[in-house]
Each structure stands twice: as structure tokens, then as C-alpha cells.
Chain A
Amino acid sequence: MSYFSDIYEGIKTLLTGMSVTGKYFITSRKGAITQQYPDNRETLKMFDRFRGEVIMPHNEDNEHRCTGCQKCEIACPNGTIEIIWDRGIDEETGKKKKKIDQFVYHLSMCTMCGLCIDVCPTDAIEWGQNFENSVYDRTTLTRVLNEPNSKLMPGVED
């Protein structure tokens, strides 16, 4: 006699499914997942884990955390990062020391694999959430991540 219980179970499960989608239908106006992108450009905030581009944060004194160790350059599988470095005199100790001149980042070659960020010993670079990367000229995708005249944050190397 599973015939009638089958019918009962069938109708019950169908109604359960319909109640689930019905709830979605009623709440969809508030909880829509879709972002109406160009309209909400000002308020749109990408989630923290979004991999848009590699950035190098600077503090207010225009200091970054990159020591120029070049581990990211070695880790990068497709030559996206190019570090142009120089030996300069350290003001405090007076010794000659390696420091970066330009941290060149080719966004056009980057696959957002994140190996450079994983490998960085001083957390100098991290993910930026900007995604509006389309440009008319691809040379503009080659960026220098350290600001001009920026220097190494003291205490990073210790």
C-alpha cells in the first residue's frame, strides 16, 4: 500500500519546495543578489577576499614595508613583478644597504594567483579590491607600486 503514501509524500515534498521558492519570491526585493553596477558605483564595496590587483599600502609618512628582497619577483610564475633596486647609504647606520627604487607591476600579465602576496615576508603587498581595470592603452597597466620618494618603514627589517 505504498501507492497512497507515495502520493502523500510526493505532494508534501512538492509543497515544501514551493514554500522555499515562495519565500525567496517574497523577500527577493530586499535581498536581491544582483548589483546594479554603474548606478551604485559610489556605494559599491567589493568584499575583502576579492582579487582585483596587487597594491602596496603606504602609511601617512609615505613609508612602505618593502625591503626589496625580490622573493615576490622569484615567486611570480609569469614575470609580472619587476623590482628595480639600488644600494643606498642607510641614514641611521651609515652602511650600504639594498633598497627598492621602483616596484614595477604589470597588471596586464598578472593572473591573480597570489603567490607574491603569500611569499612576502614583510606583508608589503596585498590585494586591492579595484576591478575597473579596462583602459584604452595597455601601457597604462604597467604600474609602479611604491610612491615617489617613499622609503622603508623603520623596524620592518628587525
Chain B
Amino acid sequence: MILLSITENIHNWLFSVMPAEVASIVEMVLIAVVYLTVFAVAGLFLVLLERRVAAWFQLRIGPNRVGYQGLLQTMADAIKLLTKELVGTDRADKFLYNLAPYFVIITALMALAVIPFSQEFHAFDINIGIFFLIAISSIGVIGILLGGWSSNNKFAMIGAMRSGVQTISYELSVGLSLLTMVVITGTLQLSEIIEIQKSGWLIVQGHIPAVIAFMVFMISGTAETNRAPFDMVEAESELGAGFHTEYSGMKFAYFFLAEFINMFIIAAIAATVFFGGWLSPFGITESIPELGVFWFLIKTMVLVFLMMWFRWTFPRLRVDQLLTLEWKYLLPINLVNIVLMAVLVWLNLTIRL
């Protein structure tokens, strides 16, 4: 409520000092700045988290020198990258080469906009929320393809093509596993999906098919973000750094940050659709709506940790194994699962608390 009253006050004050059109634009710019800040801070925090978690999985300690427990490490890295020279390649397609990082970053930001952080902190609540998310998350691959294509580098090219194959394949599973949940909710709007979960999180409401859908979503979501064990796109041991081999300095940092933000987005979608978003477990803090952000972030971080756990446990798949997993296993399972869910909803077998 405090958050709401602050935003309300800013809104009223803006509309009182300037004409309505100007005030609307100023508001939009302010929100964009807030989201950019969230983007940068969350990205840097996730990079640090990844490094520490990776270290703990490998019985190391990880960066702990810059700031308390290494909290400023990624900040220092970002400043270092900002000051570095942007080295391009000869005969690269300069326009596309420079454009590619922004594609990746803008799609990540657009996806971030529709995610409900709490009841009030929700920039863009459209009625086709999930559809929008699925659509936007597949545009990100265009940035990767452009970056790989325009670099004039064979490693980058192979990496980008692999990314195309992978994303087009796994897009299906992401979409279908979310649609399985839409069968229960009957709506695509994210705020309404959370409203429905006040009578039990969807993973409880949909029990067996929901658990299957969640597993499929986590697997294909990991593949969507091009993270290990599906990091065919970067594959350090085969392709140098994959599609961003030729990028340096801040442009590289954009790709790097966008990768981590995408991981956050996948985890946030899973938290929203399967685990009730900003709802507290069993409604224990229903009277304090400010804690919504806290619960949302807790759930998202647990899922982010799960994805990091995948990354530091499983070996990388071959391309044919990758496609076998999608087309022979995940997709048929998903199609059966969606029918199962429909039957469940039809016979009213969902669990409602």
C-alpha cells in the first residue's frame, strides 16, 4: 500500500504540473528508467550468484574479495567492461553487428515488463500476458542470429545457427507447457492467473499434469536461455565463445547480462504460473501486501538456483541428442499432457483449497 501511495502521489503531482500528454510520456520514461535499473542490478546480482553457486558446487570459494563477500565484484567487472575498447572485425556487417546486442536486451526488457513483481509493481498488465511472453522470448534469438551472422566469424556463425535450431525447437515445449496451465486458468492475463491461485497454487491445483508441465517447462526454459546443459550456442570447448566471439567490452556485457536476465525471466514465469507469483504460501502474509515482492523474489530465486544446479551438474548435449530430446520426448509428452489436463478440468478433478 505504501508503494501504491507513492506511485499514486507521483502520478497526481505529474498530472498537476504539466499537460496530460507530457505527463504520460514522463511517466513512461520514469518507468523505463526503473526497469533499466532493475535490469542492471538484477543482472549483476545474478552473475555474482552464479559464480558463487558454481564455486560451491565445485568445492571452491568463489569471488569474495571485492566488497563484503564479493558483493561488488560484478559491479567492478561492469566498470572494467565499460572502459574497454570495442573491437570489431574486418568486413563485418557493421550495422547489424552493432544492432544485435540491442535486440537481445530489448526483448529481455519487454518480457520483464509484463511480469508481476507484486500486486502493484506490474508495469504492463495486458490480457494476452502469457502469449506476449512466448512471442517476445522467441524474438531474442534474432539478436543472437544477427550477432553470429554479422560477425564474419565461422564460430559465431555456427553458434548462431545452433541457437536458431535450438530455440525454434524448444519454443514449442515452452508454449505448450504454459498452455497446459492456461487450460486450468482459462485466462492469459498474468494478474488473473495469480488471482485464480488464491485457491491453491496451480502446481497443486493441477497436480500430476501440472508437475509434468513444470518439469517440461524447466527443461525447455533452460534450453531457451541457452544455458548448460543446452549451451550449444556458446560451447566454449568447441566454438570459442559462440555467437559473441567477436564482441568485446560493453556489447559483450549486454549479451552476458541479457542471458542472465532471460534466466530470471524463465524462473519468474515459472514462479508466476506454477507457484503463485507474489502470493504467500497458505496466505500467511495476506494482510501485508508489501511482502508480495519478497515472496515473488524468493520463489524466483529458488527456481534460478535450480537452473544453476542443472548447469553445474549435467554435461552438454550433442546437437542430435538435443533434437531427440525435444521432438521425440518433450513434445509428445507435452501433447499427451495437455489432453490429460483438459480431461482433468472437464471432470473437475482439480484440487481447490
Contact = CB atoms under 8 A, between A and B. Distances in A.
Contacts of B61: 32, 34, 36
A24 B57 CA distance: 6
A28 B58 CA distance: 8
Nearest to A6: B329
B56 interface: yes
B50 to A, nearest CB: 13
A18 interface: yes
B24 interface: no
A32 B59 CA distance: 5
A17 B59 contact: no
B35 interface: no
- Count chain B CB atoms within 10 A of each CB in A18, A22, A27 and give the residue with the most: A18
A7 interface: yes
A113 interface: no
B313 A31 contact: no
A14 to B, nearest CB: 7
Interface string A1-41: 00000010000001001101110110111011110100000
A28 B313 contact: no
Chain A interface secondary structure, helix, strand, loop or mixed?
helix
Contact of A18 (B55, B313, B333): B313
B60 A33 contact: yes
B329 A33 contact: no
Contact of B57 (A14, A25, A36): A25
Interface residues of A, number: 17
A154 to B, nearest CB: 50
B59 A21 contact: no
Contacts of A18: 309-310, 313
Nearest to A30: B59
Contacts of B314: 14, 17
B208 to A, nearest CB: 15
Contacts of B53: 25
Contacts of A25: 53, 56-57, 309
Contacts of B310: 18
Given A7-B329, A14-B314, A22 B309 contact: yes
B169 to A, nearest CB: 18
A122 B329 CA distance: 69
A88 to B, nearest CB: 56
Contacts of A17: 313-314
A25 B53 CA distance: 8
A36 B64 CA distance: 10
Contacts of A14: 313-314
Contacts of A34: 60-61
B312 interface: yes
Nearest to A33: B59
Nearest to B309: A18
Contacts of B59: 24, 27-28, 31-33
Interface in B116-149: none
B227 to A, nearest CB: 15
Contacts of B309: 18, 21-22, 25
Nearest to B64: A36
A21 B60 contact: no
Interface in B249-280: none
B238 to A, nearest CB: 22
Contacts of B55: 28
Contacts of B312: 21
A116 B22 CA distance: 85
Interface in A33-65: 33-34, 36
A13 to B, nearest CB: 10
A21 B313 contact: yes
Contacts of A21: 57, 309, 312-313
A14 B60 CA distance: 23
A24 B329 contact: no
Listed from nearest, the 6 A-B pairs whose CB atoms lie closest are A28-B56, A21-B313, A34-B61, A17-B313, A34-B60, A33-B59
15 contacts: A17-B313, A17-B314, A18-B310, A21-B57, A21-B313, A24-B56, A24-B57, A25-B57, A25-B309, A28-B55, A28-B58, A28-B59, A28-B60, A32-B60, A33-B60
Interface of A: 7, 14, 17-18, 20-22, 24-25, 27-29, 31-34, 36
Given A7-B329, A18-B309, A21-B57, 6 more contacts: A17-B313, A28-B56, A28-B58, A28-B60, A32-B59, A34-B60
